[in-house]
């Protein structure tokens, strides 16, 4: 979809070849980045890594080592016959600091009682095009908050992405179906993240 491609360019990955080491409690390996952005990177590696695997990363930069944590979002398998021109590897989604802390502490983050289930990829794509691209969101609620309330909404995402918290202001309360129309805050960052999931 054209909207997804347009938003994806906001976090477009740049060609960048840097040596990277990765590890967790069960494995350790290395490879080279092929491209990288603020939200993730692609690593060329022969090591077999499963989608959803959480890893620590150390990038060897000219200015010093850079450390990050991320999740394998996709794997690319390449037949040996074409490996001279195309390398196998993995796409990595970076975890932000808040997300990493919650993973370690098993903390369930607070929200304002509003939750939207977008674990189905097709539903996520529909809501993205219909609402989120335009800066809004409809959230069902049996007990809608008041207009002008600023809220945190938990949006459940397709595996292995977990969920994301979004902030917004209630601009309209609906009765049938019961819920609220939200004007989203920091919408550009949200669009970029969801567009990347939809177009994986």
pLDDT per residue rounded down to tens, the chain (200 residues): 444 444 444 455 678 888 999 999 899 999 999 888 877 889 999 888 888 888 999 988 877 788 888 888 888 887 777 767 778 889 888 876 555 555 555 555 455 568 889 999 999 999 989 988 888 889 888 887 888 878 888 888 888 888 888 888 888 888 878 888 888 877 776 787 888 888 86
C-alpha 184: how far from chain center:
17
> Can you give the pLDDT at residue 96?
64
On the CB side of 183, CA atoms within 13 Å amount to 8
Q: Which domains does the chain have, with CATH numbers?
A: 2-105 (2.40.10.220), 114-198 (2.40.10.220)
Give Cβ neighbours of residue 48 (< 8 Å, ≥ 6 apart): 75
Nearest C-alpha neighbor of 69 from the set 106, 100, 113:
100
- H or E segment to which residue 125 belongs: helix 121-130
Answer for the pair 184, 196: CB distance below 8 angstroms, yes or no.
no
Give the whole-angstrom CA distance, residue 92 versus residue 72: 5
pLDDT at 7: 42
């Amino acid at each position: 979809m054209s909207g997804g491609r347009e938003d994806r360019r906001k976090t477009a990955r740049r060609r960048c070849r840097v040596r990277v080491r990765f590890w967790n409690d069960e494995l350790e390996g290395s490879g080279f980045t092929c491209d990288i952005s603020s939200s993730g990177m692609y690593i060329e590696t022969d090591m077999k890594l499963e989608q959803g695997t959480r890893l620590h990363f150390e990038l060897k930069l000219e200015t010093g080592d850079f450390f990050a944590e991320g999740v394998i979002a996709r794997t690319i398998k390449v037949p040996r016959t074409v490996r001279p021109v195309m390398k196998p590897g993995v796409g990595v989604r970076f975890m932000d600091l808040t997300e990493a802390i919650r993973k370690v502490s098993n903390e369930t983050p607070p929200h304002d009682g509003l939750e939207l289930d977008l674990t189905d990829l097709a539903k996520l794509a529909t809501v993205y095009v219909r609402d989120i691209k335009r800066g809004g969101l409809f959230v069902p609620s049996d007990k809608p908050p008041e207009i002008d309330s600023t809220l945190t909404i938990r949006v459940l995402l397709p595996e292995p992405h977990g969920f994301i918290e979004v902030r917004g202001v209630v601009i309209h309360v609906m009765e049938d179906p019961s819920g609220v129309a939200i004007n989203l805050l920091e919408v550009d960052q949200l669009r970029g993240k969801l567009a990347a999931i939809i177009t994986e």
